[in-house]
Every structure is written in structure tokens, then in C-alpha cells.
A and B are shown apart, each in its own frame.
Chain A
Amino acid sequence: MEKTGPTTAQLVDYLVVVVYFVFVLGVGFKLKKNMHTAEDFLLAGHNCGQEGKSSISIPTWVTGLAFLSANLGAIEVMGMAANAAQYGVMTAHFYWLGAIPAMVFLAVFMMPFYYKSKIRSVPEYLRKRFNEPTRAFNAFSFAIMTVLMSGMNLYAMAIVFQMVLGWPIHASIWLAAVVVLAYTITGGLTSSIYNEVMQFFLIVFGLLPLSIMGALRFGSWEAITDALKAPGMSHLWMEVASGSNPMGTDMLGLVMGLGFVLSFGYWCTDFLVIQRAMAAKDLHGAQLTPIVAAFPKILFPVLTVFPGLLAIIAMPQLGSNNAGLSYNNAIPYLMAAIYPNGMFGLGMTALLASFMSGMAGNVTAFNTVWTYDIYQTYLAKNKSDAHYLWVGRAATAIGIVISVGTAYLVMGFPSIMDYMQTVFSFFNAPLFATFLLGMFFKRTSPWGAFWGLVAGTGAAVIHYVLCEQGKLVYSTAMAGNFHRSVAAWTVCFVVTLMISYLTKPKDVSELKGLVWGVGIEDGDDLKKPPFLLRPGVLGCILLLVTVVLNLIFY
């Protein structure tokens, strides 16, 4: 039977979704019996595993894929495809200019500090390296960021189901919230990691045929580039120098804003992703986690950017003022246009999996930061482990309820990708300057870090307000986000340095294992892995492949 119109959901499609739900919930309940302590639940046994108390030992390939999947939320799948439909191949800069170099940097240079300092969260590193106020500032801002992001995933899921399956938006939000609650409250971080790995494969199997069938429909890359309206849509760098590219950005915004600040800020300091690497069984596993994730990540534009390009060719009216034709709908529209029933259900399940994995990642990071960095530190010290386990579970439930609220908040924004990068430019961009100075410059003082972080975040807020008032104008919202992140990072960097030279730094004896060159080698009792498995060697291979891809799609 020849396909004549968009596919609509049939029984087999619903059946695929139901089978997936059964497995997701089953994994959570199966892992429940392994959750003995708060650290089992919140950290997947990382810290207590070192003392031999935990029954949890997660292989590196699992933490690697979870590291990747925690980022595979709405922004990755729907957002990148939407960006590709709007800005073209330049969207691949998020991978080949931003993510891959940042993941290599994290693995080689930063992970040893995170892992060896035996911290339970990123804010806890800030307390050890700097002081309590710096930790508090980061803990509260991170908690706010995670629930904002989590709500965005809920909202993205709801609009897909409303559009494709006809489900009411409110019911979709609550249903998704209940499912994520069920498997994160039972199995904690381990359950979230296990489901993220399952979701990774589902996302690949659900989206790959879309690219394959799209490619078969056009025949060649030349045919696709011919069909795109502007030459800049099929090139990464060709129109960057002139500034007249589809993304409307210049070299400074692209290289410094996206390639350095936003990407390194996200991949190297966001506890959501760091938490997955820290669940690895040893330091070598933790270092390899971002590397294992980077190899598939390098190919992800095939699953996200390429369908976005196909969508804008198939539906040139995308992006018009009609709300139903938003760029965000590029992937669901393409699925309905290309997939038959069965595959359509699998594609929908892949989208559902990506949103749930993005949401669960945020919720599990939120419950850890809330329990250890806010509740245990400021509200109830010296309680029993069982008490903190209970609080961790309660924080999971409360985090999800707040996410439902923020899902309704996101409804007011025109594009999820712009919303996301706005959030990152507020929180991650200044934080990266703090970490860079904290980890690699021992003169950085505690109060320098605190005031630098406050000033950097303040600069982002002021920049945003000036943009909203029309006093700062950029040709696209994305270009504004890139420049805002550069401003926030620079202000944080400069203020931190200035105040550090005016205030007293920590004694070197207190910085052991926390700053580059201060006693990090002392605790290194691991034997060196084989040459080809060293993070530095694998990192060089990744960077080489990235350079080649940049040249091919110049």
C-alpha cells in the first residue's frame, strides 16, 4: 500500500509505547533491592563502593552511554533538529566545535580532580576548593536550573503527544511525570543510569531509519544541498567570517561563545553529566566515561541535524508564524510523513525515551544536590543514613512536582532551544570561569571565586534585560546567547582574578588533590592502562576525527 498522507497512531504504535513503559518501570523495581543506603540511591554507590560496602559496580560502557543519554533530552533530539531546520548544518558546531573538545578536556584534565577528591557533587568541590558561600550559591542556582530543564523535557513530550497522538497536553505532562517518578524513586541514580542506557539504544533505533529513508528519498548529499534554500545552510564555516550566515553569528560568538564557554561550561561543570562519570567503578573508568560517550556523540548529527535538514526541504513552511509549524515540530512531522505504523510507534517511543532520560537526569542531579548540599548542610546535620535516603526519595518526588510547574512556565517561550541556551548562559558560563581558575590557578581565593560567580551571573542577567529592552540587538536569539555567555564568563574571570589578588588564598596544604600540580599524583595508585586505552590517546583520536569532519563540511 502506497503512503498517501501523514501517519496516525494505530494499536501497534500504542503497543510499542506500552512495552517500553513496562521495561522502564520493571528496571526501577528490580533495582529497588540494591538501594540500601543514601549513597546507593543518590550516587549509585560511588563513594561507599570505595570502602567496599556497596553492591553496586557499574561498568564504564554503561556510565559512558548514560553520560551521553542524560544529555539526550528534548534539547538534543527536538532542539537540534529544530536548529538544523532553522540554521542548517551550522548546528553541527554544537557537536564538532563544542561538545567533543569539551568532553576530551573533561576526561583528561578535570575528571581526576572530581573523582579523587571523593566529592559527592559539584557544589561540594566548590566548598572544598573555596568556601561555603560559593558552594551555597552554586547549589541553589543548580537546583533551580535542573527543575527548569526538567520541566522543559516534560513540556516537549506533551506537545509531541498532543500533536501526533492527539492526547491532551495536561494529561501528557502528568503521565510522563508519574512514570519518571516511579522509576527514579525506586531505583535512584542506578535506575536512572540503567534506563538512560536502554533509552540510548531506543533513540538510535527509533531515529536512524528516519535518516536512512530520508537519504534514500533524495539519493545524494548534493541533491540535498541543492534543495536547501541558501548555500550557507549546508556549510559549517563558509559564511562565518562574513557574518551573513543563517545563525547570524560572528567568529567571536561562535568560537568563544559556543566552542569554549557554553560547551565547556556545560560538559565540564554541569553536575547532571559529571554525576554519571563519578558513578564509574574507578578513576580510569571515570576518565573513560566522557570518551566512551564522545565516540557515538561525534556521529549524532546523523540522527538530529540531518533529519532537521530533510524536514525543512520537505516542509518549507516550517518556522512560519503558525504555532503548529514551529521548528520544534521538525522531527515529529518528518516521522509522520515517512514512517509507516509500527516504525511510527518506535519513533514516538524514541522521542518519549529522550525526554524521559533528560528529565530523569535532571531530577536525579537535583535530589543529590538538594539532599547533600542544601538539606544536610543547612537544614539537618548529623541525621541517620536512613533519614537522608528518605529525604533523597522525597526530593525526587518534590523535584518532579516542581518540574510539572516549570513545564507550564516553558509554554510561554517560543523556542525550547533558545530557552535552553538562555538558561545555560546564566548558570554554566560563569561557573566554567570559576572552575578553570579554581582547578588550574592556586592563587584563586575563596572570596574571589564567590564574588566572581555572583558578578558573572549578574552580568548575564543584565545582558538578558538589555536584549529584552532592545538596547542590545543581535540578528538571532542564538547569537545573543553566545555573546551573553562570553560576557558572563569574562566578567566572572576578571572579577575572580581581581578579588583573588586582594584577598587571602587558601593554604597550599588545603588544596591537595583539588588544584592542578598540588599533590594530585600522590594518591594515584592505579597502574597505567594500555597505551590505546589512555584517555589522552583516545582524546587525540577524537579531536583528529572532529577536525576532519570540520574540513569535510567546511
Chain B
Amino acid sequence: MLDVRYPIGFLFLILGALLAIYGYGHPATFNTVNGPFPLNIDVPWGIFMFLFGMGTVSLAKLDEVKNAEQEPVPQIESGSEAADAMKPEAGSGPQATEPTEEES
């Protein structure tokens, strides 16, 4: 099933980049107790969001690789029923055995 870290990560990658680029092109100031500070908050916050998105996607990818490494490779004996079932036939592929989106 979909790892929720992917949509979260990609959402913040896109929003972070959007904010950082827009803020870089539109200088602004914000008020502090010591007077106006010449920084558009879009830039640092956009970069922070971008890094967060990158970290989230990386963690999801790392777990995916780890899980793939831990999964045992099925040992299929030649001539067995399972091995026969995996042989491709004309007009049929792996997708033919999987339920379509409409079916599910």
C-alpha cells in the first residue's frame, strides 16, 4: 500500500520550492522589535519545507529498500506448479492475473 511519506514529502518539496523561488524574486521585510528586517520569510521557510520534503521522501525510500532486502527470494523448483504458473504465455502477462482497478 501507498507509503504516506511519499505524498507528504512530494507535497512539501513542491510547495517549498514554490515559496523559496517566489520569495527570492519578491524582496520584502518583516517587522521585529528592533525594526524592519530585510528578509522575505518565504525564502527561509520555503527552503526549510523543501528540506523537510526531501528528508521525508528519503526516509520512505530507505525503508522501501530495506524491506526489499529483507524479503526472502522465493525458491522455485524447475518443473513445479508455481514455476509453470510464472512462465509467460502468449497474450498474458503479470497484469492479466492481477485485478483491474474496476474489479477492485
Q: Is B78 engaged at the interface, CB distance under 8 Å to the other chain?
A: no
| A205 to B26 alpha-carbon distance, docked (Å) | 21
How many chain A residues touch B (CB < 8 A): the figure is 42
Please tell me which one of the listed residues B1, B11, B26, B101 contacts residue A341 in the complex, with CB atoms under 8 A apart. B26
Q: Distance (Å) between the CB of A26 and the closest chain B CB?
A: 7
Q: 1/0 contact trace for B21-39 toward A, CB 8 Å? A: 0110011111111001100
A340 touches B40 (CB 8 A): yes
Q: Is A492 engaged at the interface, CB distance under 8 Å to the other chain?
A: no
B15 touches A3 (CB 8 A): no
Scan residues 14-42 of chain A and give those whose CB is less than 8 A from a CB of chain B.
Answer: 15-16, 19-20, 23, 26-27, 30-36
In the complex with contacts A12-B22, A198-B7, A343-B19, A33-B29 CB distance below 8 A: no
In the complex with contacts A2-B36, A340-B42, A346-B11 CB distance below 8 A: no
Instruction: Provide the main secondary structure of the chain A interface.
Output: helix
Scan residues 57-96 of chain A and give those whose CB is less than 8 A from a CB of chain B.
Answer: 57, 62
In the complex with contacts A27-B7, A340-B28, A33-B101 CB distance below 8 A: yes
Q: Which residues of B contact A12 (CB under 8 A)?
A: 18, 22
| A1 to B40 alpha-carbon distance, docked (Å) | 9
A197 touches B101 (CB 8 A): no
Q: Distance (Å) between the CB of A79 and the closest chain B CB?
A: 25
Q: Distance (Å) between the CB of A158 and the closest chain B CB?
A: 24
Q: 1/0 contact trace for A136-155 toward B, CB 8 Å? A: 00000000000000000000
B101 touches A217 (CB 8 A): no
Q: Which residues of B contact A217 (CB under 8 A)?
A: 30-33
Q: Distance (Å) between the CB of B31 and the closest chain A CB?
A: 5
| A223 to B28 alpha-carbon distance, docked (Å) | 25
A1 touches B29 (CB 8 A): yes
Scan residues 347-367 of chain A and give those whose CB is less than 8 A from a CB of chain B.
Answer: none
A57 touches B1 (CB 8 A): yes
A-B pairs with beta carbons under 8 A, tally: 107
Please tell me which one of the listed residues A2, A20, A339, A340 contacts residue B26 in the complex, with CB atoms under 8 A apart. A340
| A414 to B43 alpha-carbon distance, docked (Å) | 39
B8 touches A197 (CB 8 A): yes
Q: Is A213 engaged at the interface, CB distance under 8 Å to the other chain?
A: yes
Q: Distance (Å) between the CB of B90 and the closest chain A CB?
A: 27
B49 touches A205 (CB 8 A): yes
Please tell me which one of the listed residues A1, A57, A198 contacts residue B11 in the complex, with CB atoms under 8 A apart. A198
Q: Distance (Å) between the CB of B64 and the closest chain A CB?
A: 14
A342 touches B19 (CB 8 A): yes
| A223 to B26 alpha-carbon distance, docked (Å) | 31
| A96 to B46 alpha-carbon distance, docked (Å) | 32
Q: Which residues of B contact A441 (CB under 8 A)?
A: none
B26 touches A56 (CB 8 A): no
Q: Which residues of B contact A202 (CB under 8 A)?
A: 11
Q: 1/0 contact trace for B41-56 toward A, CB 8 Å? A: 1100110010010000
Q: Which residues of A contact B23 (CB under 8 A)?
A: 340, 342
Q: Which residues of A contact B19 (CB under 8 A)?
A: 16, 342-343, 346
A13 nearest in chain B by CB position: B22
In the complex with contacts A3-B30, A219-B33, A340-B42, A194-B7 CB distance below 8 A: yes
Q: Is B82 engaged at the interface, CB distance under 8 Å to the other chain?
A: no
| A501 to B61 alpha-carbon distance, docked (Å) | 60
A sample of 8 inter-chain contacts (CB < 8 A) reads A23-B10, A31-B2, A33-B101, A194-B7, A198-B7, A205-B52, A338-B30, A340-B28
**Interface on A for B, CB 8 Å cutoff?**
1-3, 12, 15-16, 19-20, 23, 26-27, 30-36, 55-57, 62, 194, 197-198, 201-202, 205, 209, 213, 216-219, 223, 338-343, 346
**Interface on B for A, CB 8 Å cutoff?**
1-2, 4, 7-8, 10-12, 14-15, 18-19, 22-23, 26-33, 36-37, 40-42, 45-46, 49, 52, 101, 104
